[in-house]
């Protein structure tokens, strides 16, 4: 009985090691475009979870946009959105990435869904964003956002009657 447990344990350990090696090879061979795509989707998940602290690691200290927001003000805007709304869902409909050495841009079209704390209906926006990134300390970090803000739409309204 003890020998069978050792064999099962060894097989399990070998399988875990093989999976880690395959994952490492995948990450190393995906290229910068794949790394940036992974960064964008990770930031999306963090925003959906309203994890402002973890989001800070994806924004450059040198962030500055056309609306005169720096890193601090961008994070304050995100925090106030997270404080006012709940059940945030971001669906990336289109993503085009261009890499130029240590700089990159991503054209993102997304649908963003959320609820106000005081209302039961779901609100959504469609957004088109040009996100500019710079490679800092071997990680892609956001340095600028250029975006449009279409009008809000109510998806589901409660029946009043």
Q: Is residue 59 in a domain?
A: yes
* pLDDT at residue 29 in the model: 47
The overall longest dimension of the chain from CA atoms, in Å, is 70
Q: Is residue 7 in a domain?
A: no
Q: What is the mean pLDDT of the chain?
A: 84
Of 12-26, 39-53, 110-124, the one with minimum mean pLDDT is 12-26
Instruction: Outline where DSSP puts E strands in 1-83.
Output: none
Number of domains in the chain: 1
Q: Is residue 11 in a domain?
A: no
Domain that holds residue 82: 32-156
Closest CA to 142 of 28, 29, 62, 48: 62
Q: Is residue 53 in a domain?
A: yes
Of 36-40, 67-71, 156-160, the one with minimum mean pLDDT is 156-160
Range 52-81 average pLDDT: 93
Say yes or no to pLDDT of 83 above 70. yes
CB atoms within 10 A of CB 111: 14
Say yes or no to pLDDT of 148 above 70. no
* Radius of gyration of the chain from its Cα atoms, rounded to whole angstroms: 21
Closest CA to 38 of 21, 58, 54, 19: 58
Question: What are the CB-based long-range contacts (under 8 Å, 24+) for 83-86?
Answer: 84/116, 84/117, 85/114, 85/115, 85/116, 85/117, 86/114, 86/115, 86/116, 86/117
Give the pLDDT confidence of 93-129 residue by residue, as tens digits. 999 999 999 999 999 999 999 998 888 888 888 888 8
Q: Which three-class secondary structure state does DSSP give residue 136?
A: strand
Say yes or no to pLDDT of 14 above 90. no
Taking the C-alpha atoms of residue 16 and residue 69, their distance in angstroms, rounded to an integer, is 45
Q: Is residue 82 in a domain?
A: yes
Range 50-66 average pLDDT: 94
* CATH code of the domain containing 82: 3.10.450.50
Q: Is residue 138 in a domain?
A: yes
Instruction: Yes or no: say if 112 and 89 are a contact pair by the CB < 8 Å rule.
Output: yes
Say yes or no to pLDDT of 40 above 70. yes
Say yes or no to pLDDT of 86 above 70. yes
Q: Which residue has the tokens 């003890």?
A: 2
* pLDDT at residue 88 in the model: 92
Closest CA to 119 of 152, 88, 86: 86
- The confidence band for 145, taking pLDDT boundaries of 50, 70 and 90, is very high
Q: Is residue 91 in a domain?
A: yes
Q: Is residue 26 in a domain?
A: no
């Amino acid at each position: 009985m003890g020998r069978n447990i050792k064999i099962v344990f060894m097989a399990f350990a070998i399988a875990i090691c093989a999976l880690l090696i395959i994952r490492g090879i995948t990450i190393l061979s995906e290229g910068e475009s794949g790394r940036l795509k992974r960064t964008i989707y990770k930031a999306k998940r963090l925003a959906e979870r309203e994890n402002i602290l973890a989001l800070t690691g994806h924004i450059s200290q040198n962030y500055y946009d056309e609306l005169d927001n720096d890193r601090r003000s961008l994070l304050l805007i995100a925090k106030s959105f997270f404080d006012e709304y709940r059940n945030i869902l971001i669906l990336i409909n289109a993503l085009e990435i261009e890499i130029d050495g240590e700089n990159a841009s991503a054209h993102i079209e997304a649908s963003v869904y959320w609820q106000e704390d005081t209302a039961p209906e779901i609100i959504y926006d469609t957004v088109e964003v040009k996100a500019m990134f710079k490679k800092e300390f071997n990680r892609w970090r956001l340095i600028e956002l250029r975006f449009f803000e279409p009008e809000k739409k109510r998806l589901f309204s409660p029946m009043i009657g």
